[in-house]
Structure 1
């Protein structure tokens, strides 16, 4: 396949290699989050199934929106996003259960998966913030939304 030649006019800002790598890392993890969350969504069973099932779809929506936002930001700053399966396979998320999963275990897994993404986002924040404040705002927004979902879900497993 032939490579596309560079446009006549480049964006006014071009990502540094460090910024591109940081955004790619975020892209991989949020894309993976959408996939593993759907896996849990399809296979969760037990008490309060419906609420968790629907709550997991909220996480999927956030993760899918985040992956699109990050990838489009990468293109806007002349970086090339990679969302191919082999790239996403390199995510930092824990492996999702392959079988039916009881609600409490599904919640525990999902919170761990969200926290893995949030850790990535917090780890890359400094380099993103130092090189592109606009991209930093995107990372901050995604982090806030995911942390809120982790709180919502973890409250399901709370016991007095």
Structure 2
């Protein structure tokens, strides 16, 4: 993960190695969030079957949360003086998420796949939260604020399985 491209900010928020560690953790979660939004949009477009409309609409609600979250993470990385990297090549290379099928997927399987991807993203957020506590409480709080709504979305997905 490229976290070495720093701007010429005169006033660093975090110093040296701490900044590198924090921005690497944030960058990893940014990649997962960007990929999750794309995966969910793929599911949204290609879901079919009973209860199609409700899951179709629910996915858009989750996507809005995920996109807002990725924006917050990217802006935190930039605030720390590092260029955030949400390019497709970076997401494809670095995401923890399993590829989503290209084909139409029935509602039941779509829910399972999206729930799995959401859980993977939450696991990554929680792992970073654990490490950020001692490094940067502001970034820790940001990821905590993201994890809560993501866990609620996971609950609502799993309630349909």
TM-score, normalised relative to structure 1:
0.90
Q: Which residue, 52, 56, 64 being the options, matches 1:53?
A: 56
In the alignment, is the contact (CA less than 8 A) between 1:26 and 1:120 conserved in 2? yes
Name the counterpart of 2:120. 116
Name the counterpart of 2:39. 36
Deviation of residue 13 (structure 1)? Answer: 3.5
TM-score, normalised relative to structure 2:
0.90
For structure 1, the residue ranges without an aligned partner over 5 or more in a row are none
Deviation of residue 12 (structure 1)? Answer: 3.6
CA separation of 1:130 and 1:4: change in aligned 2, threshold 3 A: closer
In the alignment, is the contact (CA less than 8 A) between 2:6 and 2:82 conserved in 1? no
User: CA offsets per residue over residues 66-95 of structure 1, 9 Å max, x none?
Assistant: 110001011112122111111111200111
Give the SS at the match of 1:146: helix
Runs of 4+ in 1 over 6 A off after TM superposition: none
Q: Are 1:155 and 2:156 counterparts? A: no
Give the SS at the match of 2:98: coil
CA separation of 1:11 and 1:103: change in aligned 2, threshold 3 A: same
For structure 2, the residue ranges without an aligned partner over 5 or more in a row are none
CA distance in 2, matches of 1:141, 1:118: 12
State the number of aligned residues: 154
Please give the root-mean-square deviation of Cα atoms over the aligned residues, in Å: 1.6
CA distance in 2, matches of 1:38, 1:139: 22
Deviation of residue 58 (structure 1)? Answer: 1.2
Deviation of residue 11 (structure 1)? Answer: 4.1
In the alignment, is the contact (CA less than 8 A) between 1:20 and 1:79 conserved in 2? yes
User: CA offsets per residue over residues 19-43 of structure 1, 9 Å max, x none?
Assistant: 1110000000000000000000000
Alignment of 1:1-160 (within 5 A): 6-7=8-9, 9-14=10-15, 16-89=19-92, 90-157=94-161
